[in-house]
Amino acid sequence: MRLKDKITAITGAGRGIGLAAAELFAREGARVALLEIDDKTGVEAEKLITRAGGRARFIKTDIGDVDSVQKAFAAIEDIYGGLDVLYNNASVFSSRDDGPVSKISLQTWHRIVNINLNGLFYCCKYGIPRIVKSGGGSVVNTGSSASVMGIPGCDAYTSTKGAVVSLTRSMAVEFGQKGVRVNCIVPAGIDTEMLRESSTDNPDFDAKYFFSRAPMGRFGRPGEVASLALFLASDESSYINGAIIRADGAITVTPIS
């Protein structure tokens, strides 16, 4: 019960890493607000967790819409009375539409920036004051291998994920004295729907081939990232603030031809 009675909000909680984290957090005693844009996966996630004996509530949220985010965090306060943990998991990667800056359409650039960067900003803007009000807690952000290394062909995505790392460090300094720790997980090669869709959308990118040549020779599992998020959300990481932690099987430090 490492998160016993902690009020947690997880974005993109309907599938992939977000769902794995929601299930794990609930098993560890948290009350979980499932912030998810898709009605079907959001409802299914709530049913899955509650049937297993956990406490979860689906709150339909479009993190790229500031009004939707504001309403979601107001709902969390109405339902639970506060907030202890914010896990900014949701983001979008569009290999079909993204590309070099010289070729990305303005529509694609603004859409990816709005979800991956503005969305995280909106959630922090309305979530962190509630964590402060509750006496402090944890914010866990989600970067990417694109946060720490150059990756061609996805400049919009890379830009947002680099910004998430910088924003994490700034917020860690700004809110640490108010009892709010802000850290960032940098995952790569996690076997999620988004990774599989990126390979399907872009025939030039064979994810299975690439990650089979990585040091651990396999994809990561959503639960492996969720376990790291649990640690950062819990009091076990009480002196960890402003950290950028890679969960990538050493992919980002190994040259792969």
Active site residues: 157
Cα distance between residue 3 and residue 30, in whole Å: 5
Cα distance between residue 13 and residue 11, in whole Å: 5
Task: Report whether 56 contacts 45 (CB < 8 A).
Answer: yes
Cα distance between residue 141 and residue 216, in whole Å: 24
Name the 3-class secondary structure at 224: helix
Task: Report whether 190 contacts 225 (CB < 8 A).
Answer: yes
C-alpha distances in angstroms, 64 versus 3, 29, 104, 118, 217?
28, 29, 19, 7, 35
Strand partners, 182: 139
Sign of the CA dihedral with 95 first, then 98, 100, and 103 last = positive
Cα distance between residue 143 and residue 146, in whole Å: 8
164-176: string of b/e by CB count within 10 Å (b at 16+)? Answer: bbebbbebbeebe
Q: Which amino acid, 37?
A: I
Nearest CA to 124 out of 156, 76, 85 is that of: 85
